[in-house]
């Protein structure tokens, strides 16, 4: 059994738990379509002992199912006709056990096929077809990203009717923030709360990239073990990556219980192949969501994902266009001006305006020129020597300079962040932009330095923290982070300066000849 400790959350093999959630049952067949695994709880649903199904051809299962007008062999036919991992993910078929309707969802888990049977009935009263269309148009009604996220949370809530629906966005370091929510009016708001990266470990994020929805139907129900053929193998040798019933990690179950949650549902938000965030939904009493309802929520998530990507690209283009046009103005100044420092520092538009900053410096031909609010000359000169000695990269950028260069702490009000661009390899010539300290308060849900608590039994009985009470932390000695547009603008300006220097050298040579 996997043993938890503070550092190994991301090592737990959650794709092969050897168990499923017990609101449905699972049968896995091999390439010959003989039953190789089945969950113990088939007995609850079919009244047959799971072990007696093992090694039998798939047709043995049909004896327990009724399906209108379906002849013998329809399961075999269905699998063989649709044998495509992507196609499987979008499809389901209805079967009956007695008079009760089930959704049969098939997925591949090479070399096996997973057949998962889930109840069709749920206690949601929603006309999905009508609701989804309306939800999509209402969600997209506003152009603002904040409103779009808020609308998405509201529309998902309308479809699945959970008590709380949050849009949870990942920051660059992997920790997350609640950036929109729709909730029952009696619940307190979690808007703006931050949670540590370890709350959703790496391997779980990988699974949410492959399967865009994840339902944890009831944290209080006992999972059902997967039975295996006598021929050996291990129940954990069945890969449940694509399973809809995959049992949940005990540590996450404990986490949800600590939060008072009974059912949890999440929808992935993707941006160009990366997981941007999750729509995380909680219900305080158990609430199952059936396949079609999950597909509707997935569709909303997919449309939201493309709307986010589109808006981010639009913003990227606008910012780059603005920076490019400033660099173009400086380029014209460079053409007019004999001296580089005049064009970058003293002309109408200075290098400072190419990148959002409080001040900028140019160290060129052993001379320092500055514009705006910058640290003392002697500090900038020391900084340049330090850069020259320690960094061989064309660009050095940081939003916390004092972490790398402790004496910079004295200038944190001006230079908590710097973006430095070397003008040419081998020469000690730089352009530098400065940003001041920006004290931000991050409100964590619980102390992020104690993401889990270890009880008296030690590491094997670890559980996520008990308290989710807000815990504020001031982030100091850090500036606003530099973006890729800032770096692109610095590199573009560097190329223009170098072009202008070499053009001038050529002109001088011609004049002297
Ligand atoms: C999974 N953790 C998750 C999921 C969420 C969170 C949304 C996805 C599954 C789900 O829908 O419940 C975390 N849920 C949150 C956060 C909020 C929320 C941050 O509502 C904020 C509002 N978790 C820990 C620690 C470990 C851990 C310390 O806190 C590891 C030791 C593990 N979290 C963990 C695992 C999963 C998970 C293993 C995967 C569960 C699964 O899909 O089986």
Report d(CA 323, CA 335) in Å as an integer: 19
172 Cα: distance to centroid of ligand 1 (angstroms):
18
Q: Which tokens hold the place of 366?
A: 């052993």
Cβ-proximal residues to 306 (8 Å cutoff; 6+ apart), any chain: none
- Give the angle subtended at the CA of 324 by the CAs of 319 and 327, to the nearest 5°: 130
Instruction: Fill in the DSSP letter of residue 189.
Output: P
Report d(CA 217, CA 299) in Å as an integer: 20
Nearest to 153 by CA among 295, 253, 272, 277: 277
1 Cα: distance to centroid of ligand 1 (angstroms):
20
Count of CB atoms situated within 10 Å of the CB of 507:
10
Nearest to 367 by CA among 415, 426, 429: 429
> Which residues are near ligand 1 (CB < 6 Å)?
4, 9, 12, 14, 166, 168, 176, 178, 190, 195, 198-201, 204, 214, 216, 248-249, 251-252, 255, 264-266, 278, 280, 451-452, 464
- List beta partners, residue 431: 362, 421
Q: Which helix (H) or strand (E) holds 87?
A: helix 85-90
pLDDT value at residue 474: 76
506 Cα: distance to centroid of ligand 1 (angstroms):
62
Ligand 1 atom with the smallest distance to the CA of 215 is 11
Positive or negative, the Cα torsion across 79, 82, 83, 88?
A: negative
Q: Which tokens hold the place of 116?
A: 């998962």
Q: Answer yes or no: are the C-beta atoms of 216 and 288 closer than 8 Å.
A: no
Nearest CA to ligand 1 atom 38: 249
Radius of gyration from C-alpha coordinates of the chain: 30
Q: In what order do the strands lie in the sheet with 359-364?
A: 367-372, 359-364, 430-435, 417-422, 395-398
Ligand 1 atom with the smallest distance to the CA of 12 is 38
Q: Which helix (H) or strand (E) holds 388?
A: helix 377-390
In SS3 terms, 203-254 reads as HHHHHHHHCCEEEECCCCCCCEEEEECCCCCCHHHCCCCCCCCECCCHHHHH
Ligand 1 atom with the smallest distance to the CA of 255 is 29
Q: Of the residues 16, 189, 253, 280, which should be mutated to test ligand 1's pocket, given the most ligand atoms within 8 Å of the CB?
A: 280
Nearest CA to ligand 1 atom 29: 199
Q: Which tokens hold the place of 330?
A: 């400086």
199 Cα: distance to centroid of ligand 1 (angstroms):
5
Report d(CA 97, CA 81) in Å as an integer: 23
β-strand pairing of 359-364 with 470-475: unpaired
Domains and CATH numbers, the chain: 19-105+109-118 (3.30.450.20), 337-439+478-512 (3.30.450.270)
In SS3 terms, 463-487 reads as EECCCCCEEEEEECCCCCCCCHHHH
Nearest CA to ligand 1 atom 20: 280
What is the full DSSP assignment across 318-381?
HHHHHHHHHHHHHHHHHHH-SSHHIIIIISSS-GGGGS--SEEEEEETTEEEEEES---HHHHH
Report d(CA 73, CA 80) in Å as an integer: 11
470 Cα: distance to centroid of ligand 1 (angstroms):
18
| Main-chain dihedrals φ then ψ at residue 17, nearest 5 degrees | -75, -15
Count of CB atoms situated within 10 Å of the CB of 315:
12
Instruction: Fill in the DSSP letter of residue 174.
Output: S
**pLDDT in single tens digits along all 513 residues of the chain:** 666 665 778 888 999 999 999 999 999 999 999 999 999 999 999 999 999 999 999 999 998 988 665 667 889 988 988 888 777 777 788 889 988 999 999 999 989 999 999 999 876 677 777 788 888 888 888 778 889 999 999 999 999 999 999 999 999 888 899 999 999 999 999 999 998 888 899 999 999 999 999 999 999 999 999 988 756 567 668 999 999 999 999 889 988 998 899 999 999 999 999 999 999 999 999 999 999 999 999 999 999 999 999 988 888 888 889 999 999 999 999 988 778 999 999 998 999 999 999 999 999 999 999 999 999 999 999 999 999 999 888 999 999 999 999 999 999 999 999 999 999 888 899 999 999 998 877 788 777 777 777 666 555 556 667 667 777 777 788 898 998 889 999 999 999 999 998 888 888 888 887
SS3 of 263, please? strand
Q: Is the ipTM of this complex over 0.90?
A: yes
- For the chain, how far is it from start to end, CA to CA, in angstroms? 82
Count of CB atoms situated within 10 Å of the CB of 92:
20
Q: Which tokens hold the place of 363?
A: 């160290």
């Amino acid at each position: 059994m996997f043993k938890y400790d503070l550092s190994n959350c991301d090592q737990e093999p959650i794709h092969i738990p050897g168990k499923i959630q017990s609101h449905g049952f699972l049968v896995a067949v091999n390439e010959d379509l003989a039953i190789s695994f089945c969950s113990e709880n088939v007995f609850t649903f079919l009244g047959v002992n799971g072990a007696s199904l093992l090694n039998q051809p798939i047709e043995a299962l049909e004896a327990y199912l009724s399906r209108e007008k379906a002849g013998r062999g329809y399961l075999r036919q269905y699998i063989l006709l649709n044998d495509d991992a992507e196609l499987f993910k979008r499809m389901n078929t209805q079967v009956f056990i007695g008079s009760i309707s089930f959704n049969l969802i098939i997925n591949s888990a090479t070399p096996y096929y997973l057949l998962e049977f889930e109840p069709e009935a749920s206690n949601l009263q929603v006309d999905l077809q009508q609701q989804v269309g309306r939800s999509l148009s209402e969600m997209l009604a506003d152009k603002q990203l904040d409103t779009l996220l808020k609308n998405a949370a509201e529309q998902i809530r309308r479809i699945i009717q959970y008590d709380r629906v949050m849009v949870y966005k990942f920051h660059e370091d992997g920790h997350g923030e609640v950036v929109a929510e729709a909730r029952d009016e009696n619940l307190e708001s979690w808007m703006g709360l931050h949670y540590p990266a370890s709350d959703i470990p790496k391997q779980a994020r990988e699974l949410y990239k492959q399967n865009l929805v994840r339902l944890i139907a009831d944290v209080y129900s006992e999972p059902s073990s997967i039975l295996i053929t006598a021929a050996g193998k291990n129940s954990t040798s069945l890969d449940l990556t694509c399973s809809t019933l995959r049992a949940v990690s005990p540590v996450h179950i404990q986490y949800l219980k600590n939060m008072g949650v009974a059912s949890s549902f999440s929808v992935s938000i993707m941006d160009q192949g990366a997981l941007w965030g999750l729509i995380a939904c909680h219900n305080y009493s158990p609430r199952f969501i059936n396949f079609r309802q999950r597909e509707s929520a997935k569709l909303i998530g997919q449309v939201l994902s493309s709307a986010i990507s589109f808006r981010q690209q639009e913003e990227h283009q606008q910012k780059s266009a603005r920076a490019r046009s400033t660099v173009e103005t400086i380029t014209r100044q460079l053409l007019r001006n004999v001296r580089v420092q005049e064009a970058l520092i003293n002309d109408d538009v200075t290098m400072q305006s190419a990148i959002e900053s409080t001040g900028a410096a140019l160290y060129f031909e052993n001379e320092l020129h500055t514009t705006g609010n910058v640290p003392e000359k002697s500090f900038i000169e020391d900084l340049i020597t330090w850069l020259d000695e320690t960094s061989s990269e064309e660009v050095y950028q940081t939003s916390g300079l004092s972490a790398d260069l402790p004496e910079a702490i004295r200038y944190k009000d001006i230079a908590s962040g710097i973006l430095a661009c070397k003008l040419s390899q081998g020469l000690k010539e730089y352009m530098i932009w400065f940003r001041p300290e920006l004290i931000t308060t991050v409100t964590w849900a619980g102390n992020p330095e104690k993401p889990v608590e270890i009880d008296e039994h030690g590491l094997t009985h670890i559980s996520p923290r008990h308290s989710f009470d807000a815990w504020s932390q001031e982030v100091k000695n850090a500036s606003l982070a530099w973006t890729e547009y800032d770096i692109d603008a610095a590199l573009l300006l560097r190329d223009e300066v170098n072009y202008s220097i070499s053009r001038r050298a050529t002109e001088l040579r011609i004049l002297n000849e």
